[in-house]
Structure 1
């Protein structure tokens, strides 16, 4: 017979109630920060000195130290959480970035500069408390039973709540009860901090119309041809090997479009761009390569893969109309993702790091116009990134206009504190009815508490993790490669 008490005891010996959030923050510090810098790689100013052909800023290794404080006399020492609380300080670490200034292919200067201060989660790897035993924690003024998982901003304890969102890059099918549209498939294509909604609608005439960004209700066959799939048989093969009435109607409607250039010009006309013809085509091509399904790819080489993905979307739409499949249940927890502190801070840092890079270029350009090259130590404004991150975490106003992401930690009682640290908040507006999203779903079993939800307009939108639930983080590229290799070894082949 299974000793359930032993299993529960072992679970809490290896995990804490906020362990998932701490792991997520550690991953952000150890991996995601460097990944964001690597994605940026370099910055090239448009304005250079008269005698110079090219100037380039290269971004290298990023590093952090443990929280410190600089006193009025200039001395620097370690900062502990209790002192930050008492003195209304922010418990944060300095972030250093290796920056190189390359002029005409030769390195003129390379330095490790401070770019920001990032608040540190209590009990994470960079926190001073993570290495202390119970007696040392008491000496530091801390509760040895405190789980951590929160931040101290200007002396105030704040928590980043878990955000519940639809799974990105996943196609959802649904029936439409009213209007000219009868069936619909949609997804959020996610790349970096961007989430671009895409949809393909089937109208009452049987036409499949695709929309994303400023592309509105473009026949899907036109999109396929604009991506280079100009032969009707190839389009049919990407959707389904057997042609049906709906597919035939869509092919017939685009019969006059023979080449990719014709399709791109057709799209440009529907967008009503006030530009010369060549500029219109360039704009359409840019949007196809960069804004259409960016999670699939963002260059000309990914066009075939994008056409294949659109074919799968259309096939799902045809199957939904034929009754072969049922509409997707968006409230099924398989179709949800819970975003933790590391994910939220990654979005925040990525967005504001781009602002910092733009500011570096601006300061360099201003110096060039004044006839001098500013040294790296002076070209990076540390307070810019620090203030933007600190402001977001102090007010809860996040990227993309989200609010309430950061909240003041409730310490009314011990259990209430834990409940707040394990809150899962939906992105849906509380003012909307959204009855299905508020209801208890069978897939919540074992993941979310069926009882713990506030009364009033937030009921069902603010939930709490079940006691034994544990959230995993995304797989890294190396982990993905290892899994793919394992699948290939057992005989599985990649989809083509």
Structure 2
């Protein structure tokens, strides 16, 4: 007979209830920070000294050290979490980055500079408590049974709650119950920190109209022609569906648009931009390349792939209209993603690192205008990035405009603390009815607690992970690319 209590005991000896969140933070430190810096790669100031043609700032390796504190006399030593609590300090690590200055193709200087102090999650790889046994934890002033998974900001324990969001880059089809539109397919196209909503709707006349950013209800065939698919036969092949009235109607309505330039000019007119004609066209091309389905690509050579993706969306819309598929269940947990501390900090760091780079360029260019060359160490303002990250984590106001992302850790009792560390909060506003989103879904079974949710306007929007649920992490982009190359070598073809 299996001893169930022993099984549960052994499980929790090997797994913490906050393992997933700690692993997410570790991934952010070990992978995401370097990836963000590598994506930036370099920065080129517009103003340079008179005897110089080009100056470049190049960004290299990132190093994150364990938490320390600098005393009034200038001495530096390790900082433990209990001291941070007692002295109202932030338990944070210094982040260093390798920066080089290249003048007219020749490297003049390369040094490691401090760019920020980053709050550290307790029990993560950077935390001094990591790897300590019970006796050592007691000696450090800690409860050996404390799981970690939270931060200390100005002496206050704060937790980044899990955010429940729709899966990005996933197409959802639905029937419209009211209004001039009958059917709709939509998705959030995600790239870096951007999440751009896209939608293709069918009106009662059978026209397919697309909206994204400032593009509002543009006929989809004109979008396809603006991407370079100007032959009607190619458009039909992209949709890959038996010819029906809707396809005929949409192609006929765009019959006067012969070239990609005609389509781009048509779109520019619908946007009502107060710009010269050529600037309007440039703006349309920029939006097609950078804001239309950015997850597919952001280069002119990716336009055909974007057209193929739109063809699949149109086909899905027609299948729904012909009752050959059912509307997608947006509340199915297959269509949800949980964003943990690493994901949230990645968004915060990426946005504010760009602010830091722009500030570096501003300081350098200001010095050039005044006839001075500022040393590299003086160009980087460490406090700028530190204060912006610390402010977001202290107030809970995130770069996306979302509030309440960071919350004060509830210590009413031991079990309540665990509950708070495993809270899952929906991005939907509490003031909206959203009955279906608040209801229990069969796919919550084993993943979310069916009972624990607050009364009142947050009911069903604030949930808690089930005791044995575990959150996996997204695949690293480099590993994904390796897998794709391997599959292509085996004969797999891209759509």
CA–CA distance in structure 1, aligned partners of residues 4 and 255 of structure 2: 66
Mean Cα deviation higher: 410-419 or 175-184: 175-184
Structure 1 pair 3/289, CA: closer, same or farther in 2 (3 Å)? farther
Q: Deviations over 1:410-443 (max 9, x none)?
A: 0000000000000000011111111100000000
What is the alpha-carbon distance in structure 1 between the residues aligned to residue 142 and residue 6 of structure 2? Answer: 29
* 1:237-256 alignment runs, 5 A limit: 237-256=237-256
Q: Aligned ranges for residues 442-461 of structure 1 at < 5 Å?
A: 442-461=442-461
Task: Specify whether residues 222 and 2 from structure 1 end up closer, same or farther in structure 2 by C-alpha distance, changes over 3 A only.
Answer: farther
Does the 8 A contact of 2:241 with 2:315 survive in 1? no
User: 1:341 & 1:246 partners in 2: Cα distance?
Assistant: 46
Following superposition, the deviation at residue 480 of structure 1 comes to 1.9
Query: Residues 343-365 of structure 1: CA distance to partner in whole angstroms, max 9, x if unpaired?
Result: 00000000000000000000001
1:211 and 2:205 aligned: no
The Cα shift of 1:4 comes to 4.7
Superposition deviation, residue 7 in structure 1:
4.4
C-alpha displacement of 1:467: 0.4
Instruction: Please list every run of 5 or more consecutive structure 1 residues that lacks an aligned counterpart in the other structure.
Output: none
Deviation at 1:180, TM superposition (A): 0.7
In structure 2, the residue matched to 1:344 is 344
User: Is residue 134 of structure 1 aligned with residue 134 of structure 2?
Assistant: yes
SS of equivalent to 2:200: strand
Q: Which moved more, 1:94-103 or 1:8-17?
A: 8-17
Alpha-carbon distance in structure 2 between the residues aligned to 1:272 and 1:424: 42
Aligned equivalents of 1:271 and 1:138: distance in 2?
A: 65
Cα displacement string for residues 464-495 of structure 1 (whole angstroms, at most 9, x for unaligned residues): 00000000111013432454467568x67234
Deviation track 1:85-108 (CA, whole Å, cap 9, x = no partner) reads 000000000000100111111111
Question: Within 2, Cα distance between the matches of 1:488 and 1:53?
Answer: 43
Task: Give 1:178 deviation, angstroms.
Answer: 1.1
1:293 aligns with 2:254: no
Residue aligned with 1:131, SS:
coil
What is the alpha-carbon distance in structure 2 between the residues aligned to residue 254 and residue 488 of structure 1? 37
Query: What is the deviation of 1:10?
Result: 4.0
Matched, 1:70 2:37: no
Secondary structure at the aligned position of 1:366 is classed as helix
Matches within 5 A, 1:116-131: 116-131=116-131
Q: Please report how far the alpha carbon of residue 371 of structure 1 lies from its aligned counterpart in structure 2 after TM superposition.
A: 0.4
Alpha-carbon separation, structure 2, partners of 1:481 and 1:290: 21
Cα RMSD after superposing both structures? 1.3
Secondary structure, aligned partner of 1:403:
coil
Deviation at 1:9, TM superposition (A): 3.7
Report the Cα distance in structure 2 between the residues aligned to 1:47 and 1:243, rounded to whole angstroms.
Answer: 57
Partner residue, 2:23: 23
Whether 1:271 and 2:275 are equivalent positions in the alignment is no
Aligned to 2:408: 408
How many residue pairs get aligned? The number is 495
Tell me the TM-score normalised to structure 2 length: 0.98
Tell me, which stretches of 5 or more residues in structure 2 are unaligned?
none
CA–CA distance in 2 between the matches of 1:439 and 1:74?
Answer: 56
1:385 matched to 2:385? The reply is yes
Partner of 1:441: 441
* Residue 230 (str. 1) matches residue 200 (str. 2): no
